[in-house]
C-alpha cells in the first residue's frame, strides 16, 4: 500500500530522513500543479531523480556532449541483445563509453539539481511506492547517493533563494546589459562559470534559456546573475508578452527583431578585463 500525503504537513527533508533511516527502496512521486518529480531510492540512498517522468539517459548524455548518437545506438543494440536485464548505465560502463567517475559526476549533478529545486515547494502531493524501481533506460547513478548532504544543501538553498528572488522572482525573466556599468563593477573578476553565463547574455534569452545553453542549474545561473545585478553590470526584466494578432497583421510579413549590438557586449567585457 502506497504512503500518501502533502509536503505541507510532512516536509521533504523529514521524508528523506525517514527513507534513509528506514533503509527504504522505492519511488517518491511528487506533484504540485503542473510540476512533477520522481525520486528513486535503493536501501535508503538516492539513485535517480528527475523533475519530469520518462527522462531517458541516452538523450540526456547526447545533449550534454558526453555520448554521440552512434554510441547510444551501439549501447541500445547491446542492451537489446542482453538477457540479464542490464541497465543502460551498466552497458555504457561495460562498453567503456564513459568512465565511471565521469558518468557518476554527470548523473549526480543532474540528480542533485533535480532535488534541490523541490525544497522550495511550500506544498505538494506525495506518494511513496514501496519497491518500485526505475526503468532500465533511466539515468540511474552507478553509485547511490547518501541523502544527508542533500538535506543540508537543500535547506541552505531555501535561504539563499529567498534573497535572490527579491531581485529575480522568476527564471522566465530576461537578462540585459546596462549601458553604463555601475561603480560597483570596478575590480570584478569572473570565474569560469561566471564567464559562461556572461557570454550568453544577449538581451533576449531568459534565465532558463541561459541555464539550458550553459548546462548549469537554474539556481547557479540565478545566483551568478544576482551577483551581476548587485555589481551593476546587468538588469533583469520581465519577458514581453507576444503582441496579439490583428486582421491587418495576419497577412503582413513578420517584422525582423532588432539585433543586439555586439559592440555593447565587447565594451563591457573589455572594461571588466581592464579594471
CATH (domain of 202): 1.10.10
DSSP states of 208-243 = HHHHHHHT--HHHHHHHHHHHHHTTSEEEEPPPPPP
The reply to whether 38 and 99 lie within a common domain is yes
Instruction: Judge whether 28 and 39 are in contact, CB under 8 Å.
Output: yes
Calculate the dihedral angle through the C-alpha atoms of 124, 128, 129, 132, rounding to the nearest 10 degrees: 90
Give the pLDDT band of residue 260 (cuts 50, 70, 90).
Answer: very low
As for how many domains the chain has, the answer is 2
Question: Residue ranges of the alpha helices (H) in 117-233?
Answer: 148-164, 192-200, 207-214, 218-230
The better pLDDT of the pair 26, 219 is held by: 26
Q: What is the mean pLDDT of residues 208-232?
A: 88
* Strand-pair category, 125-130 with 3-6: antiparallel
- 147 occurs within a structural domain: yes
pLDDT of 184 higher than 70: no
Determine if the pTM surpasses 0.85.
Answer: no
For residue 272, the model assigns a pLDDT of: 47
d(CA 183, CA 270): 15
Residue ranges making up the domain that contains 67: 3-163
The reply to whether 7 and 33 lie within a common domain is yes
The better pLDDT of the pair 52, 214 is held by: 214
Q: What is the mean pLDDT of residues 120-141?
A: 90
Give the pLDDT band of residue 189 (cuts 50, 70, 90).
Answer: confident
Last residue of a domain, one of 163, 184, 203: 163
Amino acid at each position: 500500500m502506497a504512503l500518501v500525503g502533502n509536503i505541507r504537513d510532512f516536509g521533504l527533508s523529514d521524508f528523506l530522513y525517514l527513507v534513509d533511516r528506514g533503509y527504504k527502496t522505492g519511488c517518491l512521486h511528487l506533484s504540485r500543479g503542473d510540476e512533477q518529480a520522481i525520486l528513486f531510492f535503493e536501501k535508503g540512498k538516492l539513485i535517480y531523480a528527475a523533475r519530469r517522468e520518462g527522462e531517458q539517459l541516452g538523450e540526456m548524455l547526447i545533449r550534454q556532449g558526453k555520448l554521440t548518437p552512434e554510441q547510444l545506438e551501439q549501447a541500445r543494440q547491446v542492451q537489446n541483445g542482453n538477457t540479464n536485464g542490464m541497465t543502460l548505465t551498466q552497458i555504457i560502463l561495460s562498453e567503456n563509453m564513459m568512465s565511471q567517475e565521469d558518468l557518476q559526476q554527470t548523473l549526480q549533478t543532474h540528480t542533485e539539481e533535480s532535488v534541490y529545486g523541490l525544497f522550495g515547494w511550500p506544498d505538494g502531493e506525495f506518494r511513496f511506492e514501496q519497491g518500485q524501481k526505475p526503468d532500465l533506460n533511466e539515468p540511474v547513478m552507478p553509485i547511490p547517493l547518501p541523502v544527508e548532504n542533500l538535506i543540508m544543501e537543500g535547506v541552505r538553498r531555501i535561504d539563499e533563494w529567498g534573497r535572490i528572488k527579491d531581485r529575480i522572482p522568476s527564471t522566465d525573466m530576461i537578462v540585459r546589459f546596462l549601458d553604463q556599468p555601475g561603480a560597483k563593477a570596478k575590480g570584478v573578476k569572473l570565474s569560469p562559470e561566471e564567464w559562461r553565463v556572461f557570454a550568453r547574455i544577449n538581451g533576449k534569452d531568459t534565465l532558463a534559456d541561459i541555464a539550458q545553453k550553459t548546462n548549469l542549474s537554474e539556481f547557479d545561473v540565478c545566483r551568478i546573475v544576482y551577483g551581476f545585478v548587485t555589481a551593476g553590470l546587468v538588469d533583469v526584466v520581465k519577458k514581453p508578452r507576444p503582441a496579439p494578432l490583428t486582421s491587418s497583421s495576419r497577412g503582413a510579413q513578420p517584422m525582423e527583431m532588432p539585433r543586439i549590438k555586439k559592440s555593447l557586449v565587447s565594451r563591457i567585457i573589455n572594461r571588466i578585463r581592464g579594471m
